[in-house]
């Protein structure tokens, strides 16, 4: 007896991700509507507040907070078990930033993006969270950053 075709989620709108508890943060490419076309290629989305009803996304390439939102956390699209397209902000964006360096080049007031073709991370002398930095250290740093933003539940 042949097996039925696999349900890739397109028919039901559900994937293996649908019921998953993402925990306090989620790493992915993330799409947002504020500003229009805001894509964070290497983002860490972090839940905020006691009720976890707000979130921000930190862009590890550009060292910027790319978007902040309230409501639901992230939306995983159902095609190909969530792999057909990047996740999107599921709630309501409150603020967003344009794709560019999160702060000026050290020692200057220059925010000009120095990356060739606007791809990849900023130069190491501009800033970095890579190298020997552990995931726990990054998580701690991002949590501290989020708390500094004074986002109240």
Reported as a single tens digit per residue, the pLDDT across 9-27 is 445 666 777 777 888 889 9
Q: Please say whether the beta carbons of 29 and 41 come within 8 A.
A: yes
Q: 67: pLDDT confidence band, cut at 50, 70 and 90?
A: very high
**For residue 98, is it within any domain?**
yes
Has residue 101 got a pLDDT over 90? yes
Question: Across residues 115-141, what is the average pLDDT?
Answer: 72
Has residue 134 got a pLDDT over 70? no
Question: Across residues 19-44, what is the average pLDDT?
Answer: 91
**For residue 124, is it within any domain?**
yes
Domain of 114, in residue numbers: 25-143
**For residue 5, is it within any domain?**
no
**For residue 57, is it within any domain?**
yes
Ramachandran assignment for 90, one of left (phi > 0), alpha (psi -120 to 50 degrees), beta (any other): alpha
**Of the candidates 101, 118, 123, which has an alpha carbon nearest to the alpha carbon of residue 110?**
101
**For residue 9, is it within any domain?**
no
């Amino acid at each position: 007896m042949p097996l039925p075709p696999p349900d890739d989620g397109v028919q039901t709108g559900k994937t293996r991700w649908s019921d998953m508890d993402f925990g306090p943060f989620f790493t992915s490419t993330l799409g947002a509507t504020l500003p229009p076309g805001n894509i964070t290629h290497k983002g860490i989305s972090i839940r905020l507040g006691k009720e976890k009803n707000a979130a921000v996304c930190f862009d590890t390439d550009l060292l910027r907070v790319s978007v902040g939102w309230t409501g639901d956390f992230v939306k995983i699209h159902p095609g190909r078990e969530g792999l057909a397209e990047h996740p999107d902000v599921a709630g309501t964006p409150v603020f967003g930033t344009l794709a560019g360096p999160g702060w000026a080049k050290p020692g200057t007031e220059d925010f000009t993006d120095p990356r060739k073709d606007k791809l990849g991370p900023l130069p190491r002398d501009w800033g970095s969270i890579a190298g020997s930095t552990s995931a726990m250290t990054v998580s701690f740093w991002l949590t501290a950053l989020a708390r500094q933003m004074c986002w109240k539940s």
